[in-house]
């Protein structure tokens, strides 16, 4: 295929879009014609504080490149915040077609030392936050018989990772949430999928070590943006890294949404899959590809 994937006329809400993965999604969707609500509370990695500069910077970049975007500083962690984020899209652009639930924080502690407050705030941002944003968006999508959701899970939930009981539990909850939206949204052309990415962000940079330099957020962008495109008919899926041979463009090579679309058969091929028992098993597969 040679046709380019466009998002003309589509409106995307992206949480945590002030930096990291979310920012790359916002820039790419806007470059391809989407109108984007850039949501970011502007707080620290542990969820403390707030500010407008992160969302504003992403919006400024989009506008300078000729795109359309508006900032939202509302917290995803309350019903009112979720409603306000979606209302921003409806009031400014008239509809909402895409929701990428990307906002997240970390409060890592070993299970024996974890305080209730550290559990509650992580669940509030990751799991409840995705619920609070997605529910009003889902209602709007049903009315227009079109919608695309993308949720961000993590290998920390699927395999477990020391010190991340709160984070892992929240991330696995998102898989269940997405699966139900895929079922309930099917008759209204609403698709919902999950990615469990491995990328260098402010939440993961210290965990990835030497591998971080090879795992820039832009390596995740093509798949994530393809999954929220009109061209994507997949739903009820969870995408991991390193479980099957999949498709690898080659170290350092740029990948587009069209590359993802055109190699979807290889990406979805379940032959020669591995059954990893830890995050380390995934990372070893990735390292092998990156080393040639």
User: Active-site residues: which are they?
Assistant: 167
Gap between the Cα atoms of 62 and 229, Å rounded? 19
Q: Give this prediction's pTM.
A: 0.90
Q: Which residues pair with 193 in a beta bridge?
A: 150, 237
Domains, the chain: 11-290 (3.40.50.720)
Ramachandran quadrant class, 248 (left: phi over 0; alpha: psi -120 to 50; beta: rest): beta
Nearest to 102 by CA among 51, 29, 163: 29
Q: Report CA torsion sign: 109, 110, 115, 118.
A: positive
Taking only the tens of pLDDT, the chain with its 292 residues reads: 469 999 999 999 999 999 999 999 999 999 999 999 999 999 888 888 888 999 999 999 999 999 999 999 999 999 999 999 999 999 999 999 999 999 999 999 999 999 999 999 999 999 999 999 999 999 999 999 999 999 999 989 988 999 999 999 999 999 999 999 999 999 999 999 999 987 655 555 555 555 555 567 788 999 999 999 999 999 999 998 767 777 888 877 889 999 999 999 989 988 877 777 777 777 777 777 766 5
Residue 66, classed as helix, strand or coil, is coil
Q: Report CA torsion sign: 64, 68, 73, 75.
A: negative
- Residue 253 class from Cβ within 10 Å (0-12 exposed, 13-18 middle, 19+ buried)? exposed
Collect all residues with Cβ–Cβ distance below 8 Å to 153 and sequence separation of at least 6. Answer: 171, 172, 174, 175, 194, 195, 196, 238
Gap between the Cα atoms of 182 and 165, Å rounded? 26
């Amino acid at each position: 295929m040679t046709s380019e994937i466009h998002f003309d006329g589509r409106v995307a809400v992206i949480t945590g879009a002030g930096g990291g993965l979310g920012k790359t999604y916002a820039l790419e969707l806007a470059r391809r014609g989407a109108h984007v609500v850039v949501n970011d509370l502007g707080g620290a990695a542990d969820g403390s504080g707030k500010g407008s500069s992160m969302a504003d910077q992403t919006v400024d970049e989009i506008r300078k490149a000729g795109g359309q975007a508006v900032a939202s500083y509302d917290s995803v962690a309350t019903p009112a915040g979720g409603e306000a984020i979606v209302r921003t899209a409806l009031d400014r652009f008239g509809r909402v077609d895409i929701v990428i639930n990307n906002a997240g924080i970390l409060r890592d502690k070993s299970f024996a030392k974890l305080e209730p407050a550290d559990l509650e705030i992580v669940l509030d941002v990751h799991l409840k936050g995705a619920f609070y944003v997605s529910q009003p968006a889902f209602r709007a999508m049903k009315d227009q018989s079109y919608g695309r959701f993308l949720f961000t899970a993590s290998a920390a939930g699927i395999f477990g990772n020391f010190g991340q009981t709160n984070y892992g539990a929240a991330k696995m909850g998102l898989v269940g949430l997405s699966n139900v939206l895929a079922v309930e949204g099917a008759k209204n052309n609403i698709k919902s999928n999950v990615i469990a990415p491995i990328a260098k962000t402010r939440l993961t940079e210290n965990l990835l070590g030497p591998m971080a330099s090879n795992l820039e957020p832009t390596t995740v962008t093509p798949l994530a943006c393809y999954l929220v495109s009109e061209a994507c008919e997949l739903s009820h899926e969870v995408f991991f890294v390193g479980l099957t041979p999949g498709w690898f463009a080659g170290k350092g090579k740029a990948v587009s949404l069209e590359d993802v679309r055109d190699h979807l058969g290889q990406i979805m091929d379940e032959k020669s899959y591995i059954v990893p028992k830890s995050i380390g098993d995934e990372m070893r597969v990735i390292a092998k590809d990156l080393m040639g």
